[in-house]
Each structure stands twice: as C-alpha cells, then as structure tokens.
C-alpha cells in the first residue's frame, strides 16, 4: 500500500500493522520450523498467525508454508505473504522483504479462516513444519453422544461424554445457532417455551479449533397450566440520543408479558409495559450498554443481546464536525511530489508521512527527505516549518504520522513509552505539529502506547489531535491490539481512519457475509463493527485510496464513498447491508494520499469534501 517503491500489491497494507496479536517466537529448534496459533476464534471463522523460525545454521533464502483445510473451510484474507490454492491445499510464499532469514531469524504472516476447521499437514519448503505436533492434530476429539438429563417448562438439561485430547470447553448448538458454552460436560439451555421440541449437538474446542459435532439429541420442554416465562424480546435497538438520554425500542416477546426491564449491567434502568423506553439523566458524550428482558408472574425471560448508545454533546475538538483527511508524502514515489503548502484547500487535516524510529527504543524523529528535497528543486526543513505555519493561517491542521512501511517504532515498556512521548513532544514543539497519527505496521502494545499518548496529551493539552490508521483486520475484534488501544483511549482519541482497502473480503458487523472490498457494503458493514463495539460516531472515519496507483486493491469511485457516508449518517444509498441504526455524527473520510489525489486530478477531494458539508 503506502510503499516507497513502484510496485504495490493487494497483500501489502498501506498503513496498518502486521498481525493483530503479538505471538512469541518458538524456542530454537534444529532446523527451520513453522508454528501456528489461532489469535481469535468466533465459531464460524478465526484469525491465525504462522511464525517461520530459522533454527538452523545457514540462511534461508525464501520460504513456502503449505497446509490443508477441511472441506467447508477456506482462507478469506491474508497478509505479509502471497497465497496460491489447489483444492483444499493452501500455500503461502514470502514477500520480497521477509524471505531471507538468518540463523535465529523469524518471519510471520497472518490469515483469516472461514469455517470452523484448522490447518493440518503443514510443510515448510516441502518438509514437515516441525516445532512440535502439527497444530491440525490438536483439535479435540468428538464429544460422546449427549443425553437429556432433565426438562422444565423453560429449559432442557444435557450431559455428554468428555472429548479426547486437550479441551478448553464445549459448545452446544441448536442447528447452526450456539446455545451454550461451558467448560464441563453438562449444560442447561434455558429461556425456552413450554411444550416445544429442540434438537442439540455438542462440539469440543481449544486453541487449535473445534471438533466435529456429536450425535444429535432431542428434548421437549414440559407443559403447564399457568403462564409460561415470556420469550426473549427481539430486535433490541437504539432509536435516538440526546445530550442527556438514550431511547430504545424492541419487538414484543412471545407469550404472556406483564412488562419489560431494561438493564445496564445488573442494574435495572427502566421498567415499562410497552416496547420502548428512554433512559434519561445521562451525561453528555457518554457511552452506555443495555440489555432487555420480558417478565410475568412465571419469571423473567432470557436477556437480549446488548446494544450500545452514546449521548450527544461530544466535543469535536479543533476540527470540523465532518472533515477530510489526507496523507502527504515525505518521500518520492510515482505520485506527484508536493510542497506541503501546495496541499489542496479541500483537506482539513494533513497527516505527514512519516516519523521514523531512532536508536533509542520508542523514540521517533523527522526531517524532510533528501530525495524529496532534490525532486522539488530544494525543499528545506525551514521551508517545511514555514509551510506548516501557512497551513495554520488557512485554518488547517497538520499532524505527524508515526510508522509506515519503513517504520520500526516499538513502544513495548514504560521506558520506551516515555521516549516516545518525549520525542513526539519535541517534534510538536519544534515544527508546530497539531498532533500524532499512529500507523505502526509491526503491531503495537496497547498498554504502553496508550500510556505514551496519555502522557503526551497531558503535556500538549486538550487540543492535541490523536488519530489512528489501522488496517481492516486490526478492527475486526475489540480484543485485538489496535482496536483495544482505540477503546482504551477513546476519552482522548480524535478519530480512527481505518483503511478499507488492500484487504480482500472481510466480515461485517452482522457476521453473516464476507463483504468484498471496493463496495458500499464493505465500507458500511466494517465501519459498523467499530460503531457498535464502543467507538463514538465522531471517532470513526472511512479511509480509501485516492485512485489508481494509490493501492493494490479496494480502489473505489469517490461517489461510492459518499454513498457509504449517506448510508451510515442517514440510512440512505445503502447497499444490501443496512446498519442497525444511523450515525449522524460519522466523522468523515481519509485518503491515501494527497499526492495520489493530485496525480488523479483531485477527484477524491473534489467529490467527497463538498458532500461532507451536507451530512447532518
């Protein structure tokens, strides 16, 4: 993506990091090994990482890792390697920059798997991957046939035989729907209706994946002459927000209903007889999560899934309510070279790419690139500083982006966090930058990067702009490092510009489809993940390439960006995916890059910027 070389491929990420969760390198073995770990598993899919280690005495010049996936499983996206496929055999070959491994060296690549299977029969350059038992053989055995051990009017209790192998827990399914997750060999599925029949299967799982399903067992709840516990309310949703309240609605429960209770955690926030409620007396710009349950004289239903809402009144800081961000190149590539002051007026926030690491862990530095200076006929640091002042006089903001393809900034402990904060503070003070953009391609530690950013803000002040530019894979799950950092610092975070490109197909917030990049569905369904998992709408922006040459995949017409913004802000111009609610505060759009946009006739800025002014 954002490479300083001419060739760009869809497997390389423009701004974001490598694998989302750091995995320790395996112990040194005799010869090369390739070890696998699932960094996340959501039942219908998983995220994994392979680490190739050279435990031998000679340099490896190129590697290929191959493995089998069971029928029904596939690879939906991958990074830091090139993939080929023959049937259910998947082969991953190194990129140009990570294929040479000196003795003791490591490299890694990541992938998203669709389906519950796990890699098996792994080979590294034609030989066994080594590094212990093949991960594919670690999936637990199938649980023993389940039996029904008890029923009530609202529940069915089950028991089954333990699986062989290492078992983390068991999942009870009704059809394809997960009904219970337990660590033992029994479970009770509750919230059922009297005199109804249900069929269940059981699967064991561990970090390597999920076993085959058990034989099925069928049970029927008992009947009763009195009222039964109501069914769970459906389609629980946020219907509106103000600076002091969040309004909720849901579909009526089945059965006899006396009323509904709205919970925040374990606390009842409202009790109503209808299918709407408004929770008031809240503070401005606060996020709250609620569940709903129906009740009658027989008891209370199972709770609904949680929904989150944020009250209005969030400060937009020193930037407009909706704004356009662009990255400016401090290097030479096939796009046009620009002096900073020549940035088109449509851009509100300019991210200078990039600050880079020093010999001091965590510390960063910046200077005008010598190649860029020569290409512009002489462009000095003094010229650059003057250009920042010029942009400030036009009402623009300029931030320094940390990382990029060549960046190797690592903030992994308290000392490096302090070094990062000190060096960024010095650069902000020296050049007049308005903030910092986190764009680390080698992953990050959310604890210490969060510590560094909070320390920096305490020194610069409340107007410090903090942005992030993760790749799509980094924002699929709130537990992944980039997403966790965003949530950890959301009280001081300005905006996240996720790159909706160079990623292949990805799951959206409905977890139903792998949406194809380059579509309105892709942008809206993936933005929805962030919006429903805790980020405020004013902290979410859509990042897209500026046009041909800017990325290897996911290039879209700027008019599609406008459609995605309309879908999220107003509920209009959506594709087949429709978000569960509207987000009028959606912040705007970002593009890689200003230079590429100018090369393509400013089509991105000229199309998207005027549209931002029309958003609510």
What is the rounded distance in angstroms from the CA atom of residue 90 to the CA atom of residue 75?
8
Is 441 among the residues known to form the active site? Answer: yes
Going from the C-alpha of 59 to that of each of 54, 91, 466, 522, the distances in angstroms are 8, 21, 41, 41
Going from the C-alpha of 152 to that of each of 106, 180, 211, 222, the distances in angstroms are 56, 17, 29, 5
What is the DSSP-derived secondary structure letter of residue 143?
P
Do residues 442 and 449 lie in contact, with contact meaning Cβ atoms separated by under 8 Å? Answer: no
Q: Is the dihedral of CA 423, 325, 288, 285 positive or negative?
A: positive
HSE-up of residue 304 (Cα within 13 Å, Cβ side): 27
What is the rounded distance in angstroms from the CA atom of residue 349 to the CA atom of residue 587?
12
Of 566, 580, 579, 480, the residue nearest 525 (C-alpha) = 579
Helix/strand/coil for 486: helix
Strands of 45-55's sheet in order across: 31-41, 45-55, 106-114, 74-79
End-to-end, the C-alpha distance of the chain in Å comes to 32
336: its two tokens: 């046009």
List for the chain the helix, strand, coil content (%; round to 5): 20, 35, 50
Any idea how long the chain is? 616
HSE-up of residue 473 (Cα within 13 Å, Cβ side): 33
Residues in Cβ contact with 7 at an 8 Å cutoff, skipping those fewer than 6 apart: none
Q: Max Cα separation, the chain?
A: 90
What is the rounded distance in angstroms from the CA atom of residue 477 to the CA atom of residue 364?
29
In which residue are the tokens 């390198």 written?
25
Among 337, 405, 441, 532, the one annotated catalytic: 441
Helix/strand/coil for 489: coil
HSE-up of residue 50 (Cα within 13 Å, Cβ side): 33
Of 570, 565, 496, 475, the residue nearest 524 (C-alpha) = 565
Q: Is residue 593 reached through a cis peptide bond, with omega within 30 degrees of 0 on the bond before it?
A: yes
What is the rounded distance in angstroms from the CA atom of residue 250 to the CA atom of residue 581?
13
What is the rounded distance in angstroms from the CA atom of residue 409 to the CA atom of residue 440?
7
Going from the C-alpha of 505 to that of each of 217, 436, 483, the distances in angstroms are 36, 30, 19
Do residues 180 and 171 lie in contact, with contact meaning Cβ atoms separated by under 8 Å? Answer: yes
What is the rounded distance in angstroms from the CA atom of residue 35 to the CA atom of residue 49?
8
Going from the C-alpha of 516 to that of each of 240, 260, 556, the distances in angstroms are 30, 40, 12
As annotated, the active-site residues are 441
């Amino acid at each position: 993506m954002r490479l300083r070389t001419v060739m760009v491929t869809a497997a390389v990420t423009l701004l974001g990091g490598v694998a989302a969760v750091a995995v320790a390198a395996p112990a040194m073995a005799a010869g090369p090994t390739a070890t696998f770990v699932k960094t996340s598993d959501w039942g219908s899919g998983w995220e994994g990482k392979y680490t190739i280690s050279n435990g031998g005495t000679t340099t490896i010049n190129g590697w290929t890792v191959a493995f089998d996936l069971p029928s029904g499983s596939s690879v939906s996206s991958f990074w830091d390697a090139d993939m080929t496929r023959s049937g259910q055999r998947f082969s991953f070959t190194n990129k140009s920059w990570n294929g040479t491994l000196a003795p003791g060296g490591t490299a890694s690549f990541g992938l998203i798997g669709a389906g519950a299977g796990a890699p098996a029969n792994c080979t590294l350059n034609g030989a066994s991957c080594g590094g212990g038992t093949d991960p594919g053989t670690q999936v637990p055995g199938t649980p023993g046939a389940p039996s029904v051990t008890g029923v009530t009017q609202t529940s069915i209790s089950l028991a089954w035989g333990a699986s062989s192998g290492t078992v983390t827990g068991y999942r009870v399914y009704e059809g394809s729907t997960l009904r219970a997750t337990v660590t033992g060999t029994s479970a009770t599925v509750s919230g059922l209706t009297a005199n109804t029949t249900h069929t269940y299967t059981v699967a064991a799982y561990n970090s390597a994946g999920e076993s085959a399903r058990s034989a099925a067992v069928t049970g029927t709840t008992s009947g009763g002459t009195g009222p039964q516990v109501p069914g769970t309310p459906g389609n629980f949703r946020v219907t509106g927000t103000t600076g002091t309240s969040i309004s909720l609605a849901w579909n009526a429960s089945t059965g006899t209903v006396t009323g509904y209770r709205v919970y925040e955690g374990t606390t009842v926030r409202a009790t109503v007889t209808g299918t709407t409620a408004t929770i008031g007396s809240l503070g401005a710009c606060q996020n709250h999560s609620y569940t709903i349950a129906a009740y009658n004289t027989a008891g209370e239903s199972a709770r609904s899934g949680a929904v989150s809402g944020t009250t209005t009144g969030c400060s937009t800081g020193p930037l407009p309510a909706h704004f356009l961000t662009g990255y400016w190149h401090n290097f030479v590539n096939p796009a046009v070279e620009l002096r900073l002051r020549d940035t088109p007026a449509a851009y509100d926030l300019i991210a200078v790419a990039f600050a880079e690491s020093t010999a001091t862990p965590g510390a960063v530095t910046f200077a005008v690139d010598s190649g860029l200076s020569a290409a512009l006929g002489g462009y000095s640091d003094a010229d650059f500083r003057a250009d920042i002042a010029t942009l400030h006089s036009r009402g623009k903001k300029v931030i320094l982006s940390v990382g990029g393809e060549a960046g190797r900034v690592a903030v992994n402990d308290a000392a490096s966090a302090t070094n990062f904060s000190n060096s960024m503070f010095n650069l902000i003070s020296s050049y007049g930058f308005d903030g910092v953009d986190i764009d680390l391609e080698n992953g990050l530690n959310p604890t210490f990067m969060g510590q560094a950013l909070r320390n920096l803000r305490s020194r610069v002040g409340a107007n410090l702009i903090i942005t992030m530019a993760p790749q799509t894979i980094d924002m699929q799950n709130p537990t992944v490092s980039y997403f966790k950092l965003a949530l950890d610092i959301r009280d001081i975070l300005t905006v996240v510009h996720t790159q909706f490109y160079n990623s292949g197909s990805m799951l959206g917030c409905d977890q139903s489809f792998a949406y194809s990049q380059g579509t309105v569905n892709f942008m809206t369904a993936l933005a929805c993940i962030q919006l429903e998992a805790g980020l405020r709408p004013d902290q979410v922006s859509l990042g897209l390439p500026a046009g041909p040459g800017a990325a290897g995949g996911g290039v879209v017409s700027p008019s599609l960006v406008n459609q995605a913004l309309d879908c999220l802000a107003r509920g209009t111009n959506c594709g087949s995916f429709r978000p569960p609610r509207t987000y009028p505060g959606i912040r705007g759009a970002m593009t890689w890059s200003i230079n590429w946009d100018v090369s393509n006739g400013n089509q991105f800025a000229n199309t998207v910027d005027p549209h931002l002014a029309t958003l609510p």
